[in-house]
């Protein structure tokens, strides 16, 4: 990736790269579109509940005869229609971005950090440390995520922090494996050996000399973990194991499915479904264009 130079140069080189990355993403049409969706999603995640014209759970929309508007198609009162319980779909969609966003953000970052540290330590030390940590990842691979998460969430009241914790527990193995193999290819390079030879301790060598060289891959897998987290949260919520106190996009899909209105109430189904697929896909599209920077071998040629 980089020429073997002084480590300080490598760090500043990394800063320069970060600027270039944005340039590359903007040049890739699909990744640029993905970036727009991500920015929109983050905005909704922060402002969504405040923008919502009604409370997504408490407010019931009523017609002129004061009867709740149940499963009403989009109209003047409710521009995305209403749910079977007379709630405003548009408000639920806006507010539902927040729990989805929080789980994605913290699940992704937590997964990235744990995975990065495990991969770094495992790859750097090798030997017994590596053996123990890798058997631990084997174990989390052997425990299937969704069934185990369902098990845990039957006896622990589901809440956003608990769901994040479960996600990180089962997802860190993905970045850990990749980071480990990256670290193994870096750790025998000359600048690492010379750092060791000139008396740098393990910690310093690991974090100052090795880590910056695998940081890009770490970011990439953190991004992917955001997408996985959102997907798993949606799946758990859809199965009825989501945080019952908030309305996420997954919860909306569960409600429309359970109510049996999926066949008719397209206005209630499409907003959360499109929301989920748009954000998970966007993260992956941006990730792919980052991957091409990290591994130019696989670059798509002739992208405008």
Partner 1 sequence: MSFRRFLIKRITIAVVLTFVAVSVIFVALRMLPGDPFSSLVASGGLTTEQVDAIRAQYGLDEPLYVQYYKYVVNLLTFNFGYSLTNSQPVWAVIRPRLVATLILLIPALVATAVVSTLAGMYAGWNRGSRFEKYSIVLTTFFRSTPAFVTGIFLLMVLSYALGIFPAYGMRSPTANPEGWYETYVSADFAMHYFIPFLTSVLYFSGDFLLLARNNVVERKGSEFLNLHAAKGLSDTEQLMRAGRNSLLPVVTYFALRMGMMFQGVITLEVVFSWPGIGRALVRAINQQDYPTVQAAVFIMALAVILANLLADVTYARLDPTVAEGGES
**Interface with partner 1 by CB under 8 A: which residues?**
30, 130-131, 134-135, 138-139, 141-148, 150-152, 154-155, 227, 231-232, 234-235, 238-240, 253, 257, 262-264, 266, 269-270, 273, 276-277, 280-281, 283-285, 288, 297-298, 300-303
What the block records as the tokens of 128 is: 């017994």
Longest CA–CA separation in the chain, Å: 83
What the block records as the tokens of 98 is: 């927040």
Residue closer to partner 1 by CB (options 191, 241) is 241
Q: Rank residues 67 and 295 by Cβ distance to partner 1 and give the closer one.
A: 295
CA angle 28, 31, 37 (to 5 degrees): 145
Quote the CA–CA distance of 33 and 279 in Å, as a whole number: 11
Give the residue with the Cβ less far from partner 1, 57 or 278: 278
Between 18 and 146, name the residue whose CB sits nearer to partner 1: 146
| Minimum distance of partner 1 from residue 44's CB (angstroms) | 18
- Token pair, residue 1, equals 């990736």
Measured distance CA(236)–CA(151) in Å, rounded = 11
Smallest gap from residue 53 Cβ to partner 1 (A): 26
CB of 275 to partner 1, least distance (A): 10
Please spell the DSSP secondary structure of 67-83, one letter per residue: -B--SPPS-SS-TT-B-
Round to whole Å and give the CA distance between 277 and 218. 24
Find the shortest distance in angstroms from Cβ 234 to partner 1: 5
Nearer to partner 1, 38 or 61 (CB): 38
User: DSSP letter at 297?
Assistant: G
| CA 153 – CA 109 distance, rounded (Å) | 21
Q: Is residue 208 packed enough to be buried (19+ CB in 10 Å), middle (13-18) or exposed (0-12)?
A: middle
Residue 51 or 105: the one with the smaller Cβ distance to partner 1 is 105
């Amino acid at each position: 990736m980089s020429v073997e130079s002084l480590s300080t140069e490598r760090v500043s080189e990394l800063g320069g790269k970060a600027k270039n990355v944005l340039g590359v993403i903007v040049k890739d049409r699909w990744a640029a579109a993905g970036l727009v969706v991500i920015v929109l999603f983050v905005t909704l995640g922060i402002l969504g509940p405040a923008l919502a014209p009604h409370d997504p759970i408490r407010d019931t929309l009523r017609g002129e005869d004061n009867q709740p508007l149940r499963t009403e198609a989009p109209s003047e009162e409710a521009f995305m229609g209403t749910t079977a319980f007379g709630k405003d779909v548009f408000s639920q969609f806006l507010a539902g971005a927040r729990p989805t966003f929080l789980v994605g953000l913290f699940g992704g970052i937590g997964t990235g950090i744990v995975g990065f540290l495990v991969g770094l330590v495992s790859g750097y030390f090798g030997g017994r440390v590596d053996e123990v940590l890798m058997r631990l990842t084997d174990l989390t691979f052997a425990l299937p995520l969704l069934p185990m998460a369902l098990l845990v969430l039957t006896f622990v009241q589901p809440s956003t922090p608990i769901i994040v914790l479960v996600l990180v527990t089962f997802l860190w193995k993905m970045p850990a494996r990749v980071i480990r193999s990256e670290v193994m290819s870096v750790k025998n390079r000359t600048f690492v050996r010379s750092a060791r030879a000139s008396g740098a301790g393990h910690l310093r060598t690991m974090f100052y000399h090795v880590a910056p060289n695998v940081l890009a891959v770490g970011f990439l897998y953190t991004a992917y973990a955001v997408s996985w987290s959102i997907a798993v949260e949606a799946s758990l919520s859809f199965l009825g194991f989501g945080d019952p106190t908030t309305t996420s996009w997954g919860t909306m899909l569960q409600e429309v499915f359970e109510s049996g209105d999926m066949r008719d109430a397209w206005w209630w189904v499409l907003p959360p479904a499109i929301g989920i697929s748009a954000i998970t896909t966007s993260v992956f599209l941006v990730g792919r264009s980052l991957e091409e920077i990290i591994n130019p071998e696989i670059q798509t040629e002739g992208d405008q």
